[in-house]
A and B are shown apart, each in its own frame.
Chain A
Amino acid sequence: MDMRTMTALELGRKIRAGECTAVDAVNASLGQISALEQELNCYVTVEPEKAIERAEEVQKKIEAGELTGPLAGVPVAIKDNMCTTGTLTSCSSKILSNFVPTYTATAVKRLEDAGAVILGKTNMDEFAMGSTTETSYYGATKNPWNLDRVPGGSSGGSAAAVAAGECFYALGSDTGGSIRQPASFCGVTGMKPTYGTVSRYGLIAYGSSLDQIGPIARDVSDCAAILETIVAHDIKDSTSVDVAETDYTSALVDDVAGMRIGIPRDYLGDGLDPEVKAAVLAAADELAKKGANVEEFDLNLVEYAIPAYYIIASAEASSNLSRFDGVKYGFRVPEFDGLHDMYKKTRSKGFGAEVKRRIMLGSFVLSSGYYDAYYVKALKVKALIKQAFDRAFEQYDVILGPTAPTTALKLGDNLSDPIRMYLGDIYTVSVNLAGLPGISVPCGCSAEGLPIGVQLIGDSFQEKKIIRAAYAYEKTRTWGQPELAEGRHSK
């Protein structure tokens, strides 16, 4: 058996059955890392010794019957914006390039308690600002399906690592599509839960009202199991919700008969790559064949989501990132003339171009005289977008559409044109604005061999509905076991 192609749940079962050990598993991942990492750059930090030591400890606990969960002993990669005690947590930024937290994010802690073996921290767009993982201080991550392409972002390192077998699953964070879009570009499954489902404690904030942690994995079952593990009502996060039904794996049922699925016509219009459109509609057909009632409808307001999102996210970011000032942690320039000069030089040298661009925009839209025109306007548009989704969910159980308008872009293509890059988030950001759950599931490949993802969106706290639809669709896929992408150059 090639352990590397197993899903997290399959591997967990084998470990529990004694067919392999947690140490074998971690070695498989580490082997894949040493083979591919130089080309792919999925990780900011890999800690082989720590991981092996941890695997040995977990293996003992499994054998002693102390760890019995489905993810015990399975190696995982964590996006580098989640705090991990004793391990560099950089947000892929120079300004945090020496920051070693003394506390662990609640979501990561939940995984550790379930016996996860952490391999390391994955690369990302700096402070999660970007859709390509090219804005990282540690260099771009490459798409394992095609090394000339981006893996998407901002959780590009996590998605690429899963696709390439450099881990069995990963945690990502999603502020405007940062789990779903890279999952789509890398041919893996990624899920953003309803806002408030997974604790944000220890997640270094980008846009606090939009950020959610979620799983990136090989299939829907893994995502459900991971979410079931990390979900928590956390008293350290005031926005954390005490969710009633968290038995997500119980929704892994191959039955969508009678399920009402709506496809927003607005998601199929201008700017959508024809190959992506065809694959997404084919996925909808599969669900219809299984008895779902699929129809198109007008969601409206789609084109307003991106400007509203960029105002809100940038404004929150400008405030969230003001704590990085060279006083308490992180990078401080060696030479400066007084306090304010230290602030300015530290921040100007510590942040990359995209982060500075968003901090400038965010500071401007909040500044005196512009707050109502921009920020309040955006919050009103957010309210309208939420209302549009509320109306849609009166009609449908699940909304289906593309995750991204295209397949993975060429490296460097978008850096020069920010607005073009932002437009790539058109199908994902409104889900964050409305706080809804969404999942991206692979639904085919382009002629160039690049993965395509279909996105399923649910109403608040209706994760089980999208898991069920995603699982049922996954069962119809003809290419079977997800293959490993091992870093190929396009010809």
Chain B
Amino acid sequence: MSKQYETVIGLEVHVELASKTKIFCGCSTEFGGEPNTHTCPVCTGMPGSLPVLNKQVVEYAIAVGLATNCTITQNCKFDRKNYFYPDNPQNYQISQLYYPICRNGGIEIETGGIKKTIGIHEIHMEEDAGKLVHDPWEDCTLVDFNRSGVPLIEIVSEPDMRSAEEVIAYLEKLRLIIQYLGASDCKLNEGSMRADVNLSVREMGAAEFGTRTEMKNLNSFKAIARAIDGERKRQIELLEMGKSVIQETRRWDDNKEYSYAMRSKEDAQDYRYFPEPDLVPIIISDEWLERVRAAQPELRDEKKIRYKAEYDIPDYDIDIITGSKHLADLFEDTIACGSDPKEVSNWLMGETMKLVKEKEIEPEDITFSPENLAKLIALIKEGSINRSVAKDVFQRIFESDIDPESYVEEHGLKTVNDEGALRTAIEAVVAANPQSVEDYKGGKTKAMGFLVGQTMKAMQGKADPGMVNRILKEILEQA
């Protein structure tokens, strides 16, 4: 490759909002459920049915707009986007084109120590489509409208990103803001956050953008990174061969690591938007904006400063803990149960993150309750269990959110503090290992560790290590 190319990337991010009901009807947004059991005439496009806007959706959209430094469109409207597809019961989607609720925002990202602002062109509200499932027996498609009408916001960035790292930093930042606002759980793997990548390449230094393609079906950060890399290569190859890039929508196949054009002659991509006549304009007063602004929860950056001041834990820990809204909530809630902040931080940074990695889950998917972590910490503090037992108990908490108090009780895991019993056990260990005793006396202090280990083994790990050390020393001195 002789020429140098620059990749230009913009994102369209769809986020499913956390409202309890759909955007235009009272059906539940809850995931799962038998097909078409969360439906009504409105979200199945029955003739004569009419949409009524969920106020919570507007509030969430405003909150996200404010948190991403957008200007809120104080007189906004919905439009219809017309296209035929069976997941779209009316064959039009109620969305916003002409007066989207938020415009001209941006968020700051940091990659490799360099800060950069990614512009947000607009955020608009719209309804999600239903689900299509292939039926292999009859070779047909089954349509389930449970997701039809689930509220979405689409966050359209400016073409400000130049690498996969920047894209992922932007998505992470966006995800955290929205999670902190409580506007969505933003899970890529479950589809509550979805990113379409608009990508073009141009020769380094060129003033004009190249022709872009839009890639869909990206459901993990890894897939996004691979897709950007793959599409960049594909476009550069085309240009190097003297061919041109076609503006089109492509579907990324993460297994084959290649994107495919989603072309169809039945698909004119002419959406014939026009103002939705069934919904009236939304006028957002200054007072309303202020109310949303005032109700804004503490966001990550504010939290970081507060943690530093209040808890005096290391910056690195603060970064990890606040890097997930759920982790930060766990942290604060466990402290609220009376635990020492440093101790809580250690458990989250150490054992918790270790298990998250082992089990290949996201911190958002942690299910244990702060109460049980707090109880565990209390058990250690009062000396009821030692740290190695605690780690085992924690694994059970992490996996099944068990109550550590009753678990320790039921499994007889309490530390043995009975000096007589310990002494007997140690004497037996000493008697059984004359060679080690010799070694110790000969100055090999390592032998001490072996004897402690043997004692702990004999006590099934339940002995207080400090006490074992003290008694063992006494006995060895006397021997």
Which residues of A are in contact with B by a Cβ distance under 8 Å? 82-83, 89, 91, 96, 99, 101-103, 105, 200-205, 207-209, 235-239, 315-316, 318-319, 322-325, 327-329, 339-340, 343, 363, 366-368, 371, 375
Contacts and interface: CB of A to CB of B under 8 A. Distances in A.
Given A209-B277, A238-B278, A343 B84 contact: yes
Given A325-B84, A328-B89, A82 B274 contact: no
B46 A319 contact: no
A328 B45 contact: yes
B46 A367 contact: no
19 contacts: A101-B46, A201-B50, A208-B278, A235-B52, A238-B280, A239-B280, A318-B82, A318-B272, A319-B80, A319-B92, A322-B91, A322-B92, A323-B89, A324-B47, A327-B89, A329-B47, A340-B266, A366-B82, A375-B274
A236 B47 contact: no
Contacts of A99: 47
Given A322-B92, A328-B89, A368 B47 contact: no
Interface centre among B41, B48, B274 (most CB of A within 10 A): B48
B472 to A, nearest CB: 78
Interface string B267-285: 0001011100111100000
A238 B274 contact: no
A202 B48 contact: yes
B48 A201 contact: yes
Contacts of B47: 83, 89, 91, 96, 99, 101, 204-205, 323-324, 329
Contacts of B143: 327
B182 interface: no
8 nearest CB pairs, A to B: A366-B272, A322-B91, A209-B277, A208-B277, A202-B48, A340-B266, A204-B47, A83-B48
Interface string B402-437: 000000000000000000000000000000000000
B51 interface: yes
A279 B48 CA distance: 39
A321 B168 CA distance: 42
B322 interface: no
Interface residues of B, number: 30
B86 interface: yes
Given A235-B52, A363-B272, 6 more contacts: A236-B50, A238-B50, A319-B274, A322-B92, A325-B86, A328-B44
A371 B274 contact: yes
Contacts of B49: 103, 201-202
Given A208-B278, A322-B84, A368 B46 contact: no
B53 interface: yes
Contacts of B86: 325, 327, 339
A203 B49 CA distance: 8
Contact of A237 (B44, B50, B53, B266): B50
Query: Interface of chain A, helix or strand or loop or mixed?
Result: loop
B439 to A, nearest CB: 81
A238 B78 CA distance: 13
A298 B427 CA distance: 117
A239 B53 CA distance: 11
B74 interface: no
A91 B48 CA distance: 11
B270 A103 contact: no
B225 to A, nearest CB: 34
Interface centre among A200, A322, A366, A367 (most CB of B within 10 A): A322
B56 interface: no
A103 B91 contact: no
Contacts of B82: 318-319, 322, 366
Query: Interface of chain B, helix or strand or loop or mixed?
Result: loop
A319 B272 contact: yes
A204 B90 CA distance: 13
A313 to B, nearest CB: 11
Nearest to A210: B277
Given A238-B280, A316-B277, A371-B274, A323 B45 contact: yes
Given A103-B41, A323-B90, A204 B48 contact: yes
B362 to A, nearest CB: 36
A101 B48 contact: yes
A369 to B, nearest CB: 9
Contacts of B90: 322-323
A103 B42 CA distance: 11
Contacts of A105: 48
Contacts of B84: 322, 325, 340, 343
Nearest to A369: B270
B58 to A, nearest CB: 13
B81 to A, nearest CB: 10
Nearest to A315: B274
A366 B50 CA distance: 22
A202 B84 CA distance: 23
A386 to B, nearest CB: 15
Interface centre among B86, B92, B141, B272 (most CB of A within 10 A): B272
Contacts of B274: 315-316, 319, 366, 371, 375
B38 to A, nearest CB: 16
B404 to A, nearest CB: 50
Interface in B86-111: 86, 89-92
Contacts of A328: 44-46, 89
Given A322-B84, A327-B143, A329-B46, A238 B51 contact: yes
Contacts of A207: 277
A204 to B, nearest CB: 4
Contacts of A318: 82, 272
Interface string B127-159: 000000000000001010000000000000000
A285 B279 CA distance: 43
Nearest to B42: A236
A375 B45 CA distance: 25
A323 B272 contact: no
A209 B278 CA distance: 7
Contacts of B279: 238-239
A327 B130 CA distance: 13
A324 B89 CA distance: 9
Contacts of A316: 274, 277
B52 A236 contact: yes
Contacts of B50: 200-201, 236-238
Nearest to A202: B48
B272 A371 contact: yes
A225 B184 CA distance: 50
Contacts of A315: 272, 274
Contacts of B48: 82-83, 89, 101, 103, 105, 200-205
Nearest to A366: B272
B344 to A, nearest CB: 47
A448 to B, nearest CB: 39
A312 to B, nearest CB: 9
Contacts of B141: 339
A209 B279 CA distance: 10
Given A201-B49, A325-B91, A328-B89, A367 B278 contact: no
Contacts of A339: 86, 141
Nearest to A209: B277
Nearest to A81: B48
Contacts of B53: 238
A339 B85 CA distance: 9
Contacts of A103: 41, 46, 48-49
Contacts of B278: 205, 208, 238-239
Contacts of B41: 102-103
Interface centre among B82, B89, B273 (most CB of A within 10 A): B82
A330 to B, nearest CB: 8
Contacts of A200: 48, 50
Contacts of A83: 47-48
A408 B263 CA distance: 52
Interface centre among B44, B80, B82, B277 (most CB of A within 10 A): B277
Interface string B442-458: 00000000000000000
A324 B47 CA distance: 9
